[in-house]
Amino acid sequence: MKIAVWIVFALLSALWTGGALLVIALSEWAAQLLASGDAAAVGTAAAQWPVPAWVSLWLDPASIKLAQEAVLWALSAGRDVLPMLGSAMGWLEPLIWLLWLLGMVLMLVLAIAGHLLLGRLPSLDALKQRAGI
């Protein structure tokens, strides 16, 4: 069981890291588009963003298209805020990595707690001896 705790930790860590890398890639892409200052071009590019092949394996193409349309709507609704968002992208990447670190620490603490709690459980042989089986 202890091995299962660490396998789950490794899988969740890989997913968490992949998600952080995806968010950083999206934020860098958005920063480049926002730097152009043209909201219409930003919206059009957001709707036509080329989805990496590995993302298409995990997400339904219809949900990706829906997300792209939501980004297009949000960008057209916040046309006046776009110049301020472009300047905020400089501190967004360190913030993403800080959140990633906090998530990793939390998962590590939970994995260590699970490992220790499983170590305190009596073995199956000891339970059989107590039950007289």
Query: For every one of its 133 residues, what pLDDT tens digit does the chain have, with 9 covering 90 and above?
Result: 889 999 999 999 999 999 999 998 888 877 776 666 655 565 666 667 677 777 777 777 788 778 878 877 777 776 666 666 666 777 888 999 999 999 999 999 999 999 999 888 777 666 667 777 6
Q: What are the tokens at 5? A: 């705790």
* Under 8 Å between Cβ of 29 and 86: no
The DSSP secondary-structure symbol of 97 reads: H
The DSSP secondary-structure symbol of 52 reads: P
What does the pLDDT read at residue 77?
Answer: 73
Query: How many CA atoms lie less than 13 Å away from 41 in the CB half-sphere?
Result: 10
How far is the C-alpha of 68 from the C-alpha of 75, rounded, in Å?
A: 11
> Which CB contacts under 8 angstroms, 24+ apart, belong to 48-55?
55/22
Q: Where are the domains of the chain?
A: 39-80, 88-118
- Determine if the pTM surpasses 0.85: no
